[in-house]
Amino acid sequence: MLSEVFYTFVISSGIGLIVLIAKLIFKSKCKNIDCCCIHIERDVETEEKEREFEIIHKMNSNEEKA
């Protein structure tokens, strides 16, 4: 029989793989993503503008604190 350690390893490895794939999908600049019957359509331009806005305002607030 397989031990509990093995099952824990398999489950945690599977969850880690899913998280890694989700992270790569989020960082990609693809507009349409199809993965195992999951279809995602993204507005990449708006997301990029939002990230730039957050970065600029984070830098401005850090400069004001210094």
Q: How do residues 24-51 score in pLDDT, each as one tens digit?
A: 777 777 777 777 777 878 777 787 888 8
The residues, ordered by sequence, that sit 6+ positions from 33 with a Cβ below 8 Å of its Cβ are: 25, 39, 40, 41, 42
User: Quick one: which H or E segment has residue 21?
Assistant: helix 4-27
Q: Quick one: pLDDT at residue 64?
A: 59
pTM for this entry: 0.49
d(CA 22, CA 38): 12
